[in-house]
Structure 1
Amino acid sequence: MTLKVRDLTVRYGGLAAVSHVDLDIADGEILALVGESGCGKTSLARTLLGLLPATARADGSALLGEHELVGRTDWTGVRGTRVATVPQGAMTGLSPVHRVGAQLAEMLALHGGTARPADLLDRVGLQPMMLRSYPHELSGGQRQRVAIALALAGEPDLLVADEPTTGLDAITQRQVLALLAELGTSMLIVSHDLSGLLPYADRIAVMYAGRLAEVRPARTLSPASAHPYTAGLLTATPVADRRVAWGSIPGSAPALGHALPGCAFAARCPLAVDRCHEETPPLVARGQAQVSCHRHDEPDRPSYPNVPRVDSPSGGAVVSASGLRHTYRSRSRVVDALRDVDLEIGAGEIVGLVGESGSGKSTLARILLGLIKPTAGRVTLEGRELTAGRALRRLRRRIGFVHQDPYDSLHPGMRVAALVAEPMAVAGVPRGERPGRVRESLAAAGLPDDAEFLARFPGQLSGGQRQRVSIARALAGGPALLIADEATSMLDVSTRAGIAITLRSLAGERGLAVLLVTHDLGEAVQSCDRILVLQAGRVVEHGPAEDLARSPSHAYTTRLLQAST
């Protein structure tokens, strides 16, 4: 069954988040809809599912077979059966208190599906024994497969997958995308990861500021033929090869209702001329593609600034761990999360910690933060051992932490000034010194320090700005060690490069030791000095980033490299 979207416009309080979009999805086709946060792709997806908030209004048409999706009030027999969704975070779509089998049975009964729960699990590559599992007993990839099985229960004609691989490691991402591609169902995959979708999508649609910048077959996409914005997204995706530069699109997308006349991308485009700032380019056919660009037929290609690399020697060891072991015990099983792990980070050095979900990365980070005590081994910070009691409380003030999710880590009711000052209050910094240190921390994190920005709430910030506020909070206490735990995994590729530049500047200018915990080996290769690869709690390989990427010595590292290219 085909989907035909015509002249779709979505407004929030009179401001257009999606403007006059035309899209087709053929029977069995996979269309990838990509773009930065705020470009309108999620609003388009929610329109197809009838999940727009009450404050939003959709106009135009989205015809799925004979079913009109825009303006529909009765979704009985449509949502779940004709069109279904795979959510971004599987845990948000699964009940934590019900077994997998019960949730699948409920979905089958709700939508009149004819399959058995075990059949659905088999279709997504899971064993029938997992019917008795609770979601928290499964890995991230397994939970996402269960979410896909739930979406398939009503045998829908169209699947809408909204960021289905965000937060998953590279190997699991490929497995989930390959699974989706093999289902044979018409599909709209919404994502900010353009490069990751290219092997699995039939066509690519790129959105910017609510409009389509480009629509083309995935096999024809390359930096030499793409819209300047699409080319920027490609170069902003880190590749696990230091011979390939990691680019960064300068600036940020316009906020809702703040787009200027002409091409919305003109303010950030290296190729923009006066006409680009004055006339909005139409989406017109260019061979097999449709492109919205005044200069697409010209030979010039955009050039974007690269993320700098600084190969400077590190100072003395700031943090040192030796022989770390940690075991989790429950009534039914014993899990060795870490096994004889050694780690050292010097002043001014960025060390990447890479591995799949469940490899032990977060356990190691929690030990270094003093949140859990290892079963065996020793950790020292600036020559002093991390122990319980007053010594631990004093040393914790020398450790900064940046959370994975910039949307959940900041209190929505606190202003930027209060958020950055809070750690200083906990550390006992005199009240009179706090305003100056707040501004200093914001400037170091690459943010404005004027009164208007200090008065903003998190809801008034972009994802990248929120994560930079988290970095400023981590810097507020004057740390010697900064731990960034998957700090860029939920951000756009164009924003991730900016965060990497900030971390590099902090390491060099402040002599800060940085541990970058990530599942993206490409990002680690591009932005770290050294890399440790964890598998099942063991360090299977470590060494300089460039050497490890060029000539890995362990098969697991090779798998990670292949998944990152």
Structure 2
Amino acid sequence: MTLSLRDLTIAYGGLTAVDRITLDVAEGEVVALVGESGCGKTSLARALLGLLPATATVTGSARLGEDELAGRTDWKNVRGRQVAIVPQGAMSGLSPVHRIGGQITEMLTLHGGGADPGELLERVGLQSAMLRCYPHELSGGQRQRVAIALALAGEPRLLIADEPTTGLDVLTQRQVLGLLAGLGTTMLVVSHDLAGLMPYADRVAVMYAGRLAEVRPARTLTAEHTHPYTAGLLTATPVADRQVPWGSIPGSAPALELLPDGCRFAPRCPLATSMCSAEEPLLRTHGTAQVACHHRAKPTYPVVPRSVHSPGTPVVRVTGVQHRYRARSRTVDALRGVDLDIHAGEIVGLVGESGSGKSTLARVILGLLRPSGGRVEIAGEELTARRGRALRRLQQQIGFVHQDPYDALHPGMRVAALVTEPLTTTGTPRDQRADRMRAAVGAAGLPTTDEFLRRFPGQLSGGQRQRVSIARALAADPLLLVADEATSMLDVSTRAGIATTLRALATDRALAVLFVTHDLGEAVQSCDRIVVLRDGTVVEQGLSADLADAPAHVYTAQLIDAARTA
């Protein structure tokens, strides 16, 4: 069933979030709607589901067949039956206290679907025996497949997938996207991952600051893209090949109250002229594509720097670390004799799919988890044997950057207080705290003005929040920084900026960095060495360039192949 958008506009309190979007999605077609956070793509998706807040106003048209969705008030027989959603976080969309079978049965009853629960699971590539499982007993990829099964329960004519692969490892991402593309359902996939969606979409619609910048068949996007913003998204996507530079779009997308005149991308565009700031470019047809730009030249963006120095002395030494725990009636070996060194000024990437043991090893190195065997040394002092005050003193040498910048910062504390807090807890003299706080904020790539330091987390972008987390980790002047999936929740352009900051810190402060990630492309581009973990075992480690060019282990080769083709 065709979805037809005509001049669809969405505003919040007079501020326009989606500006006159015209787009068609043909029956059975998969269209990827991509762009940075704040571009309006999620607002558009919610409008099609009737999930906008009461303060939002919707004008224009959004027709699914003969049904008008824009401004609709009665969604009883539409949501779930005509249009359904695959949510971003599969765990948040599933009840943790009910079995999978019960949740699917409830959805079938609610929407009148005629399928059998077991058949739905098999359709998404899961065994019917999983109907008796609870969500926490499944992997992230399995939970996302269950979320897809729930969306299909009402046999919808339109499926909206909102960031369906966020937080998943590259192998699982490819499996989930391949599954969605093979369903044969009319689909709008909302994501910030442009390169990852191209093999599975029929067309790609690139959105910036509420407007469409370019709409083009996915197969022609890489070679024939025209808009500078599309080029920026492509170059900002890290590739598992050191011969391909990793670029970064400078600046950030404008807030709704600060939208510029003319082309909204002009303040960040390398090709911008005075005409771009004065005249809004219209979306015009060029062959099989539509592009809103005054120029046809190819832009050049700054690239993420790589190390030019030899690493210093060892800061971290992990020797034979094992960790075993009980899960119900079985014993799980999360780590199996892991060895790892990190030197001053070096960034080491720890990669592997979900469940490989990455986060467990990070917690052991942070002193948050006592291993079953082996030892961890920080600057020559053993961490694993320490307890109480002695452990806390050594932990002050380690900074930590959390995965989710939206949950890591207290919403009621200002930037200055957030960065000063670690100095207070470590007993830094009061007269030194302000200077060290500002130094940490500046080192994290943030402004040190009084206006910025007075801001609350809710007034910051995702990238700024993560930089505040980095500043907190730097405040106590650590020897080691552990970044656990620190960029997985961020836009590709923002991720490149964070990687640039981590490189500057490693070089300027001789900081040892452990970069935990499931994105092998990002590790290849930004890390000096890579350690590949699988089922708690190090299967391969080496220089990033060597590992990317000639992987020795079949599992590493699979990760690299998925990173290059997903």
TM-score, normalization: structure 2? Answer: 0.98
Q: Could you tell me which residue of structure 1 aligns to residue 549 of structure 2?
A: 550
| Counterpart check, 1:25 vs 2:22 | no
After TM superposition, list the pairs within 5 Å mapping 1:368-383 onto structure 2.
Answer: 368-383=365-380
| Counterpart check, 1:365 vs 2:362 | yes
The one-letter amino acid paired with 2:317 is S
Query: Contact 1:85–1:160 (CA<8 Å) still a contact in 2?
Result: yes
Q: Could you tell me which residue of structure 1 aligns to residue 451 of structure 2?
A: 452
| Counterpart check, 1:80 vs 2:80 | yes
The one-letter amino acid paired with 1:115 is A
Residues 425, 529 of structure 1: alpha-carbon distance in 2 compared, 3 angstrom cutoff: same
Q: 2: CA distance between counterparts of 1:417 and 1:155?
A: 51
Query: In percent, how many aligned pairs have the same letter?
Result: 71
Between 551-560 and 215-224, report the one with greater CA deviation.
215-224
Post-superposition offset of 1:366: 0.4
The one-letter amino acid paired with 1:515 is L
Post-superposition offset of 1:226: 2.5
Query: Contact 1:321–1:344 (CA<8 Å) still a contact in 2?
Result: yes
Post-superposition offset of 1:331: 3.2
Query: Contact 1:398–1:478 (CA<8 Å) still a contact in 2?
Result: yes
Q: Could you tell me which residue of structure 2 aligns to residue 385 of structure 1?
A: 382
Between 102-111 and 326-335, report the one with greater CA deviation.
326-335
Q: 2: CA distance between counterparts of 1:373 and 1:225?
A: 51
Query: Contact 1:224–1:301 (CA<8 Å) still a contact in 2?
Result: no
Q: Could you tell me which residue of structure 2 aligns to residue 479 of structure 1?
A: 478
The one-letter amino acid paired with 2:97 is V
After TM superposition, list the pairs within 5 Å mapping 1:48-87 onto structure 2.
Answer: 48-87=48-87
Q: Could you tell me which residue of structure 1 aligns to residue 540 of structure 2?
A: 541
Post-superposition offset of 1:311: 3.0
Post-superposition offset of 1:523: 0.4
Q: Could you tell me which residue of structure 2 aligns to residue 435 of structure 1?
A: 434
Secondary structure of the 1:257 match is: helix
Post-superposition offset of 1:330: 2.8
Runs of 4 or more, structure 1, over 3 Å off, are none
After TM superposition, list the pairs within 5 Å mapping 1:404-553 onto structure 2.
Answer: 404-553=403-552
Q: Cα deviation per residue 1:216-248 (whole Å; 9 max; x = unaligned)?
A: 111111255321100110011000110001111
Query: Contact 1:311–1:529 (CA<8 Å) still a contact in 2?
Result: no
Residues 84, 380 of structure 1: alpha-carbon distance in 2 compared, 3 angstrom cutoff: same
Q: Could you tell me which residue of structure 1 aligns to residue 289 of structure 2?
A: 289
Q: How large is the Cα RMSD of the aligned pairs?
A: 0.8
Q: Could you tell me which residue of structure 2 aligns to residue 242 of structure 1?
A: 242
Q: Cα deviation per residue 1:103-156 (whole Å; 9 max; x = unaligned)?
A: 000000000010111011000000111111110111000000000000000000
The one-letter amino acid paired with 1:250 is P
Q: 2: CA distance between counterparts of 1:559 and 1:338?
A: 21
After TM superposition, list the pairs within 5 Å mapping 1:110-509 onto structure 2.
Answer: 110-222=110-222, 224-296=224-296, 300-386=297-383, 387-509=386-508
The one-letter amino acid paired with 2:418 is L
Q: Cα deviation per residue 1:243-296 (whole Å; 9 max; x = unaligned)?
A: 001111111111112111110111111111221111000001000001000113
In structure 2, runs of 5+ residues without a counterpart are none
Secondary structure of the 2:219 match is: helix
Q: 2: CA distance between counterparts of 1:563 and 1:35?
A: 22
Q: Could you tell me which residue of structure 1 aligns to residue 36 of structure 2?
A: 36
Q: Cα deviation per residue 1:6-56 (whole Å; 9 max; x = unaligned)?
A: 111111110000000001111110000000110000000000011011221
Q: Cα deviation per residue 1:459-497 (whole Å; 9 max; x = unaligned)?
A: 110010000000000001111110000000111111111
Q: 1: CA distance between counterparts of 2:71 and 2:328?
A: 52
Query: Contact 1:223–1:230 (CA<8 Å) still a contact in 2?
Result: no
Query: Contact 2:34–2:206 (CA<8 Å) still a contact in 1?
Result: yes
The one-letter amino acid paired with 1:552 is P
Post-superposition offset of 1:405: 0.6
Q: 2: CA distance between counterparts of 1:71 and 1:225?
A: 34
Query: Contact 2:226–2:298 (CA<8 Å) still a contact in 1?
Result: no
Query: Contact 1:83–1:156 (CA<8 Å) still a contact in 2?
Result: yes
In structure 1, runs of 5+ residues without a counterpart are none
Secondary structure of the 2:257 match is: coil
The size of the alignment, in residue pairs, is 562
Q: 2: CA distance between counterparts of 1:330 and 1:90?
A: 22
